[in-house]
Structures are given as structure tokens and as C-alpha cells.
Amino acid sequence: MSSHSFEYIRESQMTSSVELIEELDDDADAALPDIRPRTSVEPAKASQLERATMEPVDDDDDDDEGFEDETLAERLLGLTEMFPTPVRSVTGTICNFSSSGIKLVYSKGRSLMWVVASSFLIIGLPIIIQTEISSFEEQQSQQERRLMLGPSAATAGSPGIGVVPR
């Protein structure tokens, strides 16, 4: 669709919208009661007027009869007319940069996490396992010394001074 035909569609929609609004405004003015002050009102008419103004008005569905259902595209087109072209282009550029920035951060973050996790599994995990194994072996040797030499020998590296091995 060319930009010329797009502009023509926009102008015709705007013209029809303005005509519809003016028509509804004229209908609303005709439906309004005359509110000029009256100099004399008969008591019977005054009570009728009071009752008429106090009764609830139910016009929920009456407002929608003159309008056609709009599609989402028509509503978005109507919103674009509210903002000037520079504002729309700057907003679009900011949204595009934000979207590409988020995608870049997500992609680089995934790569970084993969490098950190695999490096830890290759380098750090064997060190932690070896440390745990040596700690377990040291606990086992202390347990054996305690059983063989008694509780005081478990903390010392060699047998005590007054203790003679059997």
C-alpha cells in the first residue's frame, strides 16, 4: 500500500469521525431539556418535574448503537495520530535498542554462565573432592589411634611421654 493511499485513508477516516462527532453532538443538544429559568411553575408541574429528575436513567446500551466495532489495527492507527512523527520514531528506536540490548545481555550471560559452570566442574570440583578425601582419611587415622592408644593419643602426632606402647 503506498503512502499516498494510506494518507487518503487516514484523511477519510478523520473526516468521517469528525462528521459523526458533530452529528452526535447535535443529537445530544436536541435531546437536552430547556434549562432556562422559569418565572412561574405550577405546583403540580413542579412535583412532576421533581419526580422526573429523581428517577434513575437507564441508558447503558443506548450509547453504543451509533458506533461500529473497531478493529485493533484501526484503534492503533487512531493512536498514531495523537503523537507527532518524531516522537513515534524516537520511541520506536528506543524500543528497538532496548530489545536488542536485552537479547545481547541474555546471550552473553548464558555464555558466561556456561564458561563459569564448566570451569568449576573441571577445575574446582576435583580440588573439593580431594580435600574431602584427605579430611576423611585424617579422621580415620585419628579414630584408629584413639582405639589403639587411648583418647590422649588421638590428638598428638606421636605417643605420649609417659605412655609405653605395648
The pLDDT of residue 84 = 87
| Range of weakest confidence among 16-20, 48-52, 71-75, 97-101 | 48-52
| Angle of the 3-31 helix axis to the 72-80 helix axis, nearest 10 | 90
Query: Do residues 153 and 159 touch, judged by C-beta distance below 8 A?
Result: yes
Q: What totals of helices (H) and strands (E) does the chain contain, helices first?
A: 6, 0
pLDDT per residue as tens digits for the range 110-162 = 999 999 999 999 999 999 999 999 999 999 999 998 888 876 755 655 555 55
DSSP for 39-51, written as a single string: S---HHHHHHHHH
Q: How would you classify residue 150: left for phi > 0, otherwise alpha for psi between -120 and 50, otherwise beta?
A: left
Structure confidence at residue 70 (pLDDT): 83
- State the CB neighbour count (10 A cutoff) for residue 30: 7
61-90 per-position pLDDT tens digit = 555 566 678 888 888 888 888 888 899 899
Identify the pLDDT of residue 21: 73
